[in-house]
Structure 1
């Protein structure tokens, strides 16, 4: 087992940043219909570049796509059937959690999540 515990670094205000997580949960109500509830949570973590911003040019125009990696002790969700993928708002942009990797060997609850830039509507 690795001896490095990164929990202190993830919480250090010199290194960590704050972001907002929007979590949406679906459940079947008493009437048999889907009920959707959502909550917004303020978290702390370290954001690093993943693929960065990529301008994709196609015949009909162009679009910007990009991704970041979020390192945090907050348990982010890509999707588990009842919960939609978390949406992270950071630096004025929204990102959808695409995958979550368990790095708890490097600190209690530590995860690294790849997040894709939400397309402009």
Structure 2
């Protein structure tokens, strides 16, 4: 499980870096929150979660960890898409997508928190 989180994190690192470069070159800075969320919830958070699960493999081998992973993998793209919609003034479409993606991320973080407190002594 730890490898899954770490591999996903480096994909988001690549996406976030390219996105930031394109955003800067094109001077389209209304996408700053998109760039920040790709890097923080994608690259940084997933890498840290992966390292925690590497250090505590008993926590990584649970249904909580697996559920956390999949909720994050589906929730984050939805959240990012909604932020692009917000930046392009498509709030009506973006709000339900943001709500679903954000809720999935919150539940993912909650499951990870429960898993850490339950498994790491």
Q: Which has the higher strand share?
A: 1
Report which of the two has the higher share of helix. Answer: 2
Shorter-chain-normalised TM-score: which range?
Answer: under 0.3
| TM-score when normalising by structure 2 | 0.21
TM-score, normalised to structure 1, is 0.21
Max radius of gyration: which structure? 1
